[in-house]
Structure 1
Amino acid sequence: MENLNRTIDPSENISQFEMDREEFMKKLHHTQYFEAFGIFRRQPKLSSIIETSEVQDELAKGLVYMMETSDYAAVKKTKESFKLQDGTVMKVLKEGLPNIIRQKDFSRVAEYVKLFKITREDLLLIIDEISEEDLTKIFKKK
């Protein structure tokens, strides 16, 4: 939903792109990804900032939060909606998966492994302390 309370000073001569960029970043910062995606779809030029570290960092923070709060659907939609760089995906997995593994919620870990197309070898590189037993539980549920 668009922010109808936004006031614009005509003397500032701010472009629609700049207004949309500012609103987009605000939505990302407040983890309002579906609203951010709506702005993104409305303003195709925003694709030029998706790969910036600022945007990727905000996406990573939000994805980790969504993983920890068991919001698989939101993680999947965000992953599909925005181009995530490899470094962002690694950061998300390194920060998001260990807590889920400690909770022994292997079916959730398996969902994320499948979503991000992570191999057993990749998971060993991403997660420092994971037992062979845990790996077996994660990959047998795939």
Structure 2
Amino acid sequence: MDDLRIRPAAPADLDAVLAFWKAAAEGTSISDDRSGVERLVARDPGALLLAERGGELVGTVIAGFDGWRCHLYRLAVHPEQRRRGIGTALLAAAEERFAALGGRRADAMVLNRNERAHHAWHAAGYAPEPQWSRWVKHLDR
């Protein structure tokens, strides 16, 4: 893992990130477009973390903090790079960010159908909270 570099995304990275998500992320979101990711990076420049190996993008996670709760989205690792500690390293970087910001609780958005991800999140110490269900409203105009 010595050659793995984790850093915040810059505006110049956004096209590569969007292309990466099409190849590596399970499913897409209404906000998976350039303007949505630009708003994220402009509002919270440290939230979108990138993992690079040899200059190539191999993983991402969005580690957002709203001042009250920590939120994790878009943990994705390139299919050919999985099971090499990249996801674990991204989560560790996200959790370090949260601790520095004063965050005390993190939740993760994980697709119900993505069973491989469920195992990875469980291994990282996250657990579903059956007493809660997530309600979503898309605010597209």
TM-score of the superposed pair, with normalisation by structure 2: 0.34
Q: Which has the higher contact order (CA 8 A, sep 6+)?
A: 2
Structure with greater Cα Rg:
1
Structure in which a larger fraction of residues adopt helix: 1
Structure with the larger strand share: 2
